[in-house]
């Protein structure tokens, strides 16, 4: 098994040594950055089960009521919880707020469950909105299909299934349509969905979105790890699981950079992303009104240890999800053409706001501001409005009150 030891040494050294750590592509921070390098070399393992169960089946039944309340992700973390059976596995959906309020659907990122957007959801409900959140397949309390790639087709289907489960009409005549908000990976998912179903939406809001990350942001070592069939998938699943279970690394000491105009890709590395997650954890988060002490970091750690499908879902999303510009640019361009045509024809059906609202963090080391603004403006044919927070990638889960007010102003 010498080859196995060599593979482990090579992969871990690529991440651990600062002098050899290449710029890792990432969307939600720590585990995203590391996972991209590893998950990109998955081979074709055939799972034994078509659906990975969620902790609702594997863990929750064995817990007492007190233990359930003490979980980093309680079952009743938000109001209006329901579990929706589908051919792809059960989906956990939360929906609450005034039934006659404007409707808002959220799509979260690659590692965190819907908990990460709870503060923003509560803030919008306070302002009279009806909100719906759901856990992506393999996250939170959603099950996960093990025999399908987690790509924009699967995610689009999941959005439609979540909408169809509501006792209210979210898409029919008189529904008022809904605003779609996507964060990080969820931003890439939301943009792809909007490019196919613009008539269902009243507006599109993207928070630090994936989907247009440049191929040039991937370093040489990561490109090597992109090679298919280089390592057995079972090895990679074990390595990624071990790495995620180990938790975040210690943040690197901040150094003054005399070259402020250095290439953006030099800023996208694993440790920088990890530091951003730690900075989010150090700020006050009230993501659940019922459980005000919950944090995204604790919830992610709990998922890694207790959700049987999380690691596989995470890795599949890395490899197949709407992340890279080279695979998603046409979806963004299609959306841009739709908005331009609507504006020229003065149409009123679907996407009533003729601009996409994109909110980014100025200090985001994952979604690089200058590159992204240029690329999104071109792809959307100028049909975009940008707003910025003096924060990193974590701002939706820490600056939610300010963000909610900005969203209300945009919608009005």
Ordered by start, the domain boundaries in the chain are 51-215+319-411
Distance CA 236, CA 372 (A): 30
Q: What is the pLDDT of residue 351?
A: 77
Q: Model's pTM, two decimal places?
A: 0.83
Which residue is it, tokens 């923003």?
A: 120
Distance CA 320, CA 339 (A): 27
pLDDT along the chain (412 residues), means of 10: 39 39 36 41 52 97 97 98 98 97 96 95 98 98 96 98 97 88 97 96 96 78 50 73 64 42 39 44 81 93 93 87 93 95 72 87 90 97 96 93 96 90
Residue 322 dihedral angles phi and psi, to the nearest 5°: -75, 85
Q: What is the pLDDT of residue 248?
A: 58
Q: What is the pLDDT of residue 279?
A: 52
Q: What is the pLDDT of residue 264?
A: 40
Distance CA 36, CA 39 (A): 5
Q: Determine whether domain 51-215+319-411 maps to CATH 3.40.50.1820.
A: yes
Which residue is it, tokens 């590159």?
A: 371
Nearest to 185 by CA among 222, 228, 137, 223: 137
Which residue is it, tokens 């613009």?
A: 198
DSSP strand pairing (356-361 vs 201-207): parallel
**Pair of tokens at residue 226:** 């992109």
Residue 182 dihedral angles phi and psi, to the nearest 5°: -120, 135
**Pair of tokens at residue 288:** 């659940």
């Amino acid at each position: 098994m010498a080859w196995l030891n060599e593979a482990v040494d090579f992969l871990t050294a690529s991440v651990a040594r600062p002098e050899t750590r290449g710029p890792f592509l990432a969307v939600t921070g720590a585990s995203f950055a590391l996972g991209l390098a590893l998950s990109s070399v998955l081979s074709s393992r055939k799972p034994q089960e078509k659906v990975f169960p969620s902790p609702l089946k594997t863990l929750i039944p064995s817990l007492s009521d007190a233990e359930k309340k003490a979980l980093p992700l309680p079952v009743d973390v938000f109001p209006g919880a329901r579990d929706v059976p589908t051919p792809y596995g059960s989906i956990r959906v939360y929906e609450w707020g005034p039934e006659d309020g404007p409707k808002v659907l959220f799509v979260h990122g690659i590692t965190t469950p819907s908990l990460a957007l709870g503060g923003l959801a509560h803030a919008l409900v306070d302002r009279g909105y009806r909100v719906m959140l759901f856990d992506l397949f393999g996250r939170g309390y959603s099950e996960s299909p093990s025999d399908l790639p987690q790509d924009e087709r699967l995610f689009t289907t999941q959005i439609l299934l979540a909408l169809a489960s509501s006792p209210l009409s979210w898409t029919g005549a008189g529904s008022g349509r809904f605003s779609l908000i996507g964060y990080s990976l969820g931003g890439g998912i939301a943009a792809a969905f909007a490019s196919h179903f613009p008539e269902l939406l009243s507006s599109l809001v993207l928070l630090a979105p994936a989907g247009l990350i440049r191929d040039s942001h991937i370093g040489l070592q990561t490109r090597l790890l992109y090679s298919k069939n280089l390592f057995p998938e079972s090895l990679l699943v074990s390595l990624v699981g071990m790495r995620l279970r180990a938790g975040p690394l210690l943040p690197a000491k901040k150094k003054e950079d005399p070259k402020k105009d250095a290439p953006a890709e030099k800023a996208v590395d694993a440790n920088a992303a990890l530091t951003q997650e730690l900075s989010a954890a150090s700020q006050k988060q009230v993501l659940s009104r019922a459980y005000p002490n919950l944090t995204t970091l604790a919830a992610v750690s709990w998922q890694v240890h207790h959700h049987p499908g999380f690691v596989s879902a995470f890795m599949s999303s890395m490899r197949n999800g709407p992340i890279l510009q080279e695979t998603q640019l046409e979806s963004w361009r299609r959306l841009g053409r739709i908005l331009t045509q609507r504006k020229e024809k003065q149409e009123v059906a679907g996407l009533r706001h003729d601009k996409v609202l994109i909110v980014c963090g100025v200090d985001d080391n994952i979604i690089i501001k200058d590159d992204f603004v240029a690329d999104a403006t071109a792809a959307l044919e100028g049909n975009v409005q940008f707003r910025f927070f003096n924060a990193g990638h974590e701002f939706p889960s820490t600056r939610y009150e300010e963000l909610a007010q900005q969203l209300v102003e945009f919608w009005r």
